[in-house]
Amino acid sequence: MRDVIFWLAVLSCACGQAMILRSAMRARVHAQHAHTPAGVARPRVASEIAWTVLPAIFLAATLAVTWRTIHAAPAPMAMDDGPAAAHASPATPR
């Protein structure tokens, strides 16, 4: 179940990053055709790319660390296995 939740989070993050990239590219095309007042400075292409790609890199690193943490943790106990079952010794015949 935790793998399903993880991959749903990855999918939603990937969709969000794709929309951010799409909007950055569309804004750049739109800005080239729009009239910009003389006192307003346009952001440079390099800064737009950096502010779009940098969060994606940090998000990918966070997801990678999360994946490693999920799979390094022990599997959760089943509902019928309580703490007493984990510490009980097997019955010995008398």
Q: What pLDDT is recorded for position 60?
A: 92
When pLDDT is cut at 50, 70 and 90, the band that residue 9 belongs to is very high
Nearest by Cα to 28 from 43, 50, 40: 43
Q: Is the pTM of this model over 0.75?
A: no
Counting Cβ atoms within 10 Å, is residue 67 exposed (0-12), middle (13-18) or buried (19+)?
A: middle
Spell out the domain ranges in the chain: 1-33+46-71
pLDDT at 65 > cutoff 80: yes
Query: Which has more confidence, 59 or 28?
Result: 59
